[in-house]
Amino acid sequence: MQKRTLGRSGLDVSAIGLGCMGLSFGYGPATDRQEAVKLIRAAHDRGVTFFDTAEAYGPGVNEEVVGEALEPVRSQVVIATKFGFKDGVPANGLDSRPERIRQVADGALKRLRTDRIDLFYQHRVDPAVPIEDVAGAVKDLVEAGKVGHFGLSEAGADSIRRAHAVHPVAALQSEYSLFWREPEAEILPLLEELGIGFVPFAPLGKGFLTGKIETTTTFAADDFRATVPRFAPDALKANFALVELVKSVAADKGVSPAQVALAWLLAQRPFIVPIPGTTKLHRLEENLGGADVELTEADLARILDALSGIQVQGERYAASHQRFVNR
């Protein structure tokens, strides 16, 4: 597996990481714990050194699984986790008070079976707490040796600049894919300017870009995509042109649509490290193969030209979740 450095942080990770959320949260019933542990260890065996979790994925359960899986290889991997929701439950709202940040850090260290959090993200910007206070609290944790690097998730440009002025932001984690390209306008140039790495979550469009979702697909009530406007029936039909594009490029190159989607992200900037998630070993191996797919200038131009004629329909979150985004 190739390596990449997250901006100017000096934090070296595998070019593709593993997003662990779906093993216990968001996409239906949790994966059996020992099966989840096996999958995470299989990812490491195949060269993955970057693993992403959060207090809110469970809450706490996902961190415990990640901690158990990676304890034998702790010195060989980078573990990222997050704080920022009240009691670790998104439905309860935001809470990034410094005392809460310290509490989450101490709890995460125990759940992850480690003495340090390599990358500690604020999960969402909390308008009730100045971002300078958040950055200062994480800075204290870095100085105490409990945290290695500070990250933000779904933060807007102003919040990124203000936080970075207090303590260097090593990475921003936000949604970015062929299905959601908003970061290209303002965020990517800012990260390049400040030397901040970019970690796209949902790099496969929450499964849409794999080609496994059809225009007739419906989602179970415990799958959060059931509430997402862009997965509503009419939007799915309208957005399917994007899937056809990815399938076409994949067929021409003899690879899978998921691999094209990941290779496209990797081609956008050298400091981008996507973190696709999966519960299946064969999908894990397929995703990791995306790092070996080289898209030529002609491929990239073809994709960009086609994208100019595709207007994605539907918001990426339900209205109830929009309040957490881009502050």
Across 24-38, 190-204, 247-261, least confident range: 24-38
Q: 80-107, pLDDT tens digit by residue?
A: 999 999 999 999 999 999 999 999 999 9
pLDDT for the residue numbered 7:
94
Across 21-25, 232-236, 257-261, least confident range: 232-236
pLDDT for the residue numbered 27:
73
pLDDT for the residue numbered 253:
96
pLDDT grade for 281, boundaries at 50, 70 and 90: very high
Q: 306-316, pLDDT tens digit by residue?
A: 999 988 887 87
Global pTM reads 0.93
317 given a catalytic annotation = no
What is the Cα–Cα distance from 186 to 126, expressed in whole angstroms?
21
What are the residues facing 19 on neighbouring strands?
52
- pLDDT score of 276 more than 60: yes
Amino acid present at 305: D
Select which of 57, 121, 176, 317 is catalytic.
57
Q: 1-58, pLDDT tens digit by residue?
A: 899 999 999 999 999 999 999 999 877 788 999 999 999 999 999 999 999 999 999 8
CB atoms within 10 A of CB 263: 23
pLDDT for the residue numbered 172:
98
Q: Average pLDDT of the chain?
A: 93
Residue 278 dihedral angles phi and psi, to the nearest 5°? -165, 165
pLDDT for the residue numbered 319:
66
Across 134-138, 143-147, 231-235, least confident range: 231-235
What is the Cα–Cα distance from 292 to 46, expressed in whole angstroms?
13
CB burial of 24-46 (b: ≥16 within 10 Å; e: otherwise) equals bbbbeebbeeeebbebbbebbeb
**In this structure, what token pair is assigned to residue 297?**
């200038």
Domain range 3-206+266-293, CATH architecture: Alpha-Beta Barrel (3.20)
Extents of the domains making up the chain: 3-206+266-293
Coil, strand, or helix at residue 23?
Answer: helix
What is the Cα–Cα distance from 93 to 156, expressed in whole angstroms?
19
Closest CA to 131 of 149, 150, 113, 116: 150
What is the Cα–Cα distance from 233 to 255, expressed in whole angstroms?
28
pLDDT for the residue numbered 100:
98
Provide the 8-state DSSP code for 61: H
Mean pLDDT confidence for 249-272: 97
